[in-house]
Structure 1
Amino acid sequence: MASPLDDKTRSIIKACVPALEAHGLAITTEMYRRLLANPDIRDLFNISHQKDGEQPKALALAVLAYARNIDNLGAMAGAVERIAEKHVGLNILPEHYPYVADALLGAIAHVLGDAATPDIMDAWGKAYWFLAEILIGREEQIYVAHAAAPGGWVGWRPFRVSRRTVESETVTSFELAPVDGKPVMRHVPGQYLSFRLDVPGYGSERRNYSISSAPGSNAYRISVRRIDNGVVSDWLHDSVQEGTVLQVSAPAGDFTLGNPAPAPIVFLSAGSGLTPFISMLGALDAAAATGVRYIHTTRTPATEAFGPYIRDLAAKGMLRADLFYSRATPQAAQDATGVTTHAGRMTPAWLTHEIDRSASYYICGPDSFMRDAIATLKAGGVPESQIRFEFFGSAADAALVG
């Protein structure tokens, strides 16, 4: 159990909020520069998120949120759980934390210069290790649970690609079976797998991909969208074939479907944000659920992944679906299965008209899509407790961070 921070430390951290607002991104950028120069820690990070600046920006927002909530850390509980789950997926261990401490404190001293007084450095050292001890404790609980679960494991486990399926012009699914032939841990719908990949010409890469299959004990499926100039997505689409072996950690993540699932449920997604919802729909279908609403935005009919599956579920009366094609211009129409297609993007006005204030909303997609959807739902009277959303990549949008 982490010892509580003393009043002096909390007062100093709060007083640093203006400095973090002005220099937070410079501090986290410098911190990652130091970390990535260290071969003992560099391979734990997604290098793509460093190149596009998303990871330093996301961390800067998280550090600022920590400082702002230093007197009410209960407000950070959700963020702490997300971080712990992500760390477990990437197999972060207690011995990695001192590297981050040295890099963060060094970056604060470097960026703030003479303003980084001994009292400030001491306070941030205490604040860092206070949070680190909470994360280490929670991560240990998750590791123990994974080791004890039927089919569970800790660390990297080899899985073989047993099947490739082209889902759309941009999305391909990969079914993964463990090389040892033993059972796998049943995931909770909405969780993701983390991968340690060796990409020719780029070296070690880490990625997370949502599980798109219903829970089972034999295999998993991920569905990956090809990203323009995406190092890993290009490699998966172009080079990973049936028989390829990949290193995988146990399912992780807290963006999950409740058990029993809340009713009614509305899924709102854009692009590859649908993948966790396909897993959730599989679980709901197995439970003979009805009354689900599925709303998805994609570019064109050619980029629509899992279209036949959604139409099958609609035809059997499990769900009602609305599909928006942002780059196509068909007239709004309903097909024989009850799926309604729309021209253009989903608008706030349309979503407002469709709001069910009794429903639980699950949202996944680009940050801008999630931000607009959440704002529309809140303005329409949906309680915040009934709105859940998942980040793909780094949480780098201030409107979506606690």
Structure 2
Amino acid sequence: MTSKQKRSIKDTIPTLKTNGIDLTKHFYKRMFFHNPELKNVFNMGNQANGKQQNALAGAVLAYAEHIENPGILIGTLETIGNKHVSLNITPEQYDIVGTHLLASIKEVLADKATDDIIEAWTQAYNELAAIMISIEEKLYQNNLTKKGGWKGWRAFTISSIVDESKEIKSFYLEPKDKKDIPPYFPGQYITVKIFIPSLGYEQPRQYSLSSVFIPNYYRISVKKEIGMDRIPDGMVSNHIHEKVIGDEIWVSSPSGTFYADIVSDDPLVLISGGVGVTPMMSILEAYSNSGMGNNVVWVHGCKNEEFHTFKSEVELLQQNNDWLSSFVFYEETEIENEVVRKGRIDLSALEAKIIINGAKYYICGPEPFIKAHYNSLITLGVSRDSIFYEEFGPQLLQIN
């Protein structure tokens, strides 16, 4: 981009701060009207609750603010690239998005969308799209080089279903073609795609792989999302919970930038809330199998014992391995001791247990959960580059 074009991009920052959500709402409405087939690709639940519009508005603003040095955003772009690969996004779809985004800038900004601004944003989008397409092509090729790897969607069959807690079931997925499946890093996810009759189109969702890699199957553990306060039930999670053994499900290859290096000498501190337990279980099992033996602390929070997924598995690992310590916070409990606390997770109450020299910290849960415990760790003196987090849903957080 030229210096003039970068100045034009910067000139739009105040407008993006005040009208960014209006722009992204208009963009999605316009795109789905002209290209309704993309409803099969985008999470329409996040469209309905506004999270996707907020996420895109934040991303556009961040790109404008860092237009002089977009390399600062490479970590975020790689995370988004992994999500796109899990959805089988194509270069042609970037052309569709670009067309509607630039048209939306013209239509929403009106007189403020001068020829210079449109020219600058056209160049900026094309450069960003080229970066993303390059990142994603490398990820696609990397998937194909793995034993059993594939690109796009592959049919799997549900071979087993296990009730893990009051709201979470584990689904064991075996490849329908009986061929190899590739390994994954503990903490990564797969995307499943399911046709939703009430909508009339397919919907993709990402689910963390909840076990150490086993060559015969992938395991996901899915929370049945029950709607509250006028928020509807989870469309896909409820549909998955209605599945039975033998049903077919479409799956993309494992993806994600949130994972632990289980052969590192660094101690691990895992912090999870609710269904955020799922990638942590994969990390813990993989670490246990590695035989490393350095310190691992797991802090988990949930409603009560009935909602505590993998409770017995973690307790058994802790009984047999002195390198593991676990603590749980129940919002509802009559029992309190050294391991079980009442209330929501309070990291300051465990400072002596979790502040470990050289430790890496992994947080998984919804946006407010991550933000609260990320800030708690910073307050306790943990450096930002030692904290990693996985946010369920669109990436809204910019806290690193």
Query: For this structure pair, what is the TM-score category when the shorter chain's length is used for normalisation?
Result: over 0.9
| CA distance in 1 between partners of 2:93 and 2:38 (Å) | 7
* 1:60 matches 2:64: no
Q: What is the CA distance between 1:215 and its match in structure 2? A: 1.6
Q: Write the deviation string for residues 63-101 of structure 1: whole angstroms up to 9, x where unpaired.
A: 111111111222101111001100000000111111100
Residue from 138, 163, 167 that aligns with 1:166: 163
Q: Write the deviation string for residues 230-272 of structure 1: whole angstroms up to 9, x where unpaired.
A: 11111111x2111010010100111111253351100001011
Corresponding residue number in structure 2 for 1:35: 31
> Would you say the 8 A contact 1:62–1:401 is kept in 2?
no
* 1:112 matches 2:117: no
Q: Write the deviation string for residues 148-196 of structure 1: whole angstroms up to 9, x where unpaired.
A: 1101001110000000000000100000000000110101111110112
1:117 aligned partner, one-letter code: T
Corresponding residue number in structure 1 for 2:378: 378
TM-score normalised by the chain length of structure 2: 0.94
| CA distance in 1 between partners of 2:56 and 2:350 (Å) | 32
Q: What is the CA distance between 1:200 and its match in structure 2? A: 2.4
Aligned length: 389
Structure 2 counterparts to residues 168-247 of structure 1, below 5 A = 168-202=165-199, 203-228=201-226, 229-237=233-241, 239-247=242-250
Change (3 A) 1:198 1:383: same
> Would you say the 8 A contact 1:357–1:381 is kept in 2?
no
Corresponding residue number in structure 1 for 2:77: 80
Q: What is the CA distance between 1:358 and its match in structure 2? A: 2.5
Q: What is the CA distance between 1:276 and its match in structure 2? A: 0.7
Corresponding residue number in structure 2 for 1:392: 392
Q: Write the deviation string for residues 192-250 of structure 1: whole angstroms up to 9, x where unpaired.
A: 1011211222231111101011023221000001111111111111x211101001010
| CA distance in 2 between partners of 1:106 and 1:260 (Å) | 49
2:12 aligned partner, one-letter code: C
Residue from 319, 322, 327 that aligns with 2:327: 322
| CA distance in 1 between partners of 2:133 and 2:262 (Å) | 27
> Would you say the 8 A contact 1:35–1:42 is kept in 2?
no
> Would you say the 8 A contact 2:266–2:360 is kept in 1?
yes
1:24 aligned partner, one-letter code: G
| CA distance in 2 between partners of 1:346 and 1:20 (Å) | 36
Structure 2 counterparts to residues 42-57 of structure 1, below 5 A = 42-57=39-54
Unaligned runs of 5+ in 2: 227-232
| CA distance in 2 between partners of 1:146 and 1:186 (Å) | 10
> Would you say the 8 A contact 2:262–2:283 is kept in 1?
no
| CA distance in 2 between partners of 1:262 and 1:111 (Å) | 52
Unaligned runs of 5+ in 1: 335-339
Root mean square deviation of aligned Cα? 1.4
Structure 2 counterparts to residues 306-345 of structure 1, below 5 A = 306-317=310-321, 318-326=323-331, 328-334=332-338, 340-345=339-344
Change (3 A) 1:401 1:101: farther
> Would you say the 8 A contact 1:80–1:135 is kept in 2?
yes
Corresponding residue number in structure 1 for 2:230: none
> Would you say the 8 A contact 2:211–2:282 is kept in 1?
yes
Give 3-state SS (helix, strand or coil) of 1:254's partner: coil
> Would you say the 8 A contact 1:262–1:360 is kept in 2?
no
Q: Which moved more, 1:88-97 or 1:201-210?
A: 201-210
TM-score normalised by the chain length of structure 1: 0.94
> Would you say the 8 A contact 1:41–1:99 is kept in 2?
no
Q: What is the CA distance between 1:401 and its match in structure 2? A: 5.2
> Would you say the 8 A contact 2:39–2:202 is kept in 1?
no
Corresponding residue number in structure 2 for 1:365: 365
1:34 aligned partner, one-letter code: R
Identity %, equivalent residues? 36
| CA distance in 1 between partners of 2:350 and 2:103 (Å) | 47
Q: What is the CA distance between 1:103 and its match in structure 2? A: 1.3
Q: What is the CA distance between 1:123 and its match in structure 2? A: 0.6
Q: What is the CA distance between 1:8 and its match in structure 2? A: 1.4
Corresponding residue number in structure 1 for 2:275: 272
Corresponding residue number in structure 2 for 1:154: 151
> Would you say the 8 A contact 1:395–1:401 is kept in 2?
no
* 1:304 matches 2:302: no
* 1:261 matches 2:258: no
| CA distance in 2 between partners of 1:36 and 1:351 (Å) | 48
2:326 aligned partner, one-letter code: A
| CA distance in 1 between partners of 2:189 and 2:110 (Å) | 41
